[in-house]
């Protein structure tokens, strides 16, 4: 089994997925769902970029991840749930994707330390940006096994990409 954990890989997902298919790998995807405020705060601190650009990046990467993962078996996982009870989430992922994710529990306990989560802001301040609240709510619902509103995701995807140039110009100001 090969596991790739890199959020930015979605920019090249088409290439990676095509290559995986060509060599006969079974593609199964666990989609992490992190609160936009957590990701935005992290990007601002790490890359010193504006809140507007970081929230636009959160939206774009989540829209792309959702779209590229559609044809494959997938499960959505709330990052906070993974930190609070990784055993439950790993069992859920294993069941939904029909894969064995047994692990050395002591090693995972040592690695997944909730104290290492530097950003944990669930306030609504950034959720008032276009589409963030709607997309985040839809992804959380999916992560709680409530299904994903594909029509909402399609609508936001279409609107975002029709306005992407305006987002880029505004973010660079």
Q: Check residue 169 and report its DSSP letter.
A: H
**pLDDT digit string (tens) for 72-107?**
999 999 988 988 898 999 999 999 999 988 877 888
Residue for token pair 């993974």: 82
More confident residue, 44 or 8: 44
Average pLDDT, the chain: 84
**Residue 134, pLDDT score:** 93
Q: What pTM did the predictor assign?
A: 0.85
Q: Would you give the end-to-end CA distance of the chain in angstroms?
A: 44
* Token pair belonging to 158: 């279409």
């Amino acid at each position: 089994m090969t596991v790739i954990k890199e959020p930015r890989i979605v920019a090249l997902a088409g290439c990676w997925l095509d290559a995986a298919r060509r060599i006969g790998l079974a593609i199964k995807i666990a989609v992490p769902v992190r609160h936009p405020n957590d990701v935005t705060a992290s990007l601002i601190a790490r890359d010193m970029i504006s809140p507007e650009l970081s929230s636009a990046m959160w939206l774009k990467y989540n829209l792309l991840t959702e779209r590229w993962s559609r044809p494959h078996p997938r499960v959505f996982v709330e990052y906070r749930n993974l930190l609070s009870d990784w055993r439950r989430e790993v069992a859920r992922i294993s069941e939904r994707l029909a894969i064995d994710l047994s692990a050395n529990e002591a090693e995972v306990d040592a690695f997944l330390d909730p104290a290492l989560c530097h950003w944990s802001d669930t306030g609504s301040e950034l959720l008032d940006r276009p589409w963030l609240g709607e997309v985040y709510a839809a992804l959380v619902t999916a992560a709680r096994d409530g299904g994903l509103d594909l029509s909402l995701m399609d609508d936001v995807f279409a609107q975002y990409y029709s306005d992407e140039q305006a987002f880029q110009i505004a973010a660079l100001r």
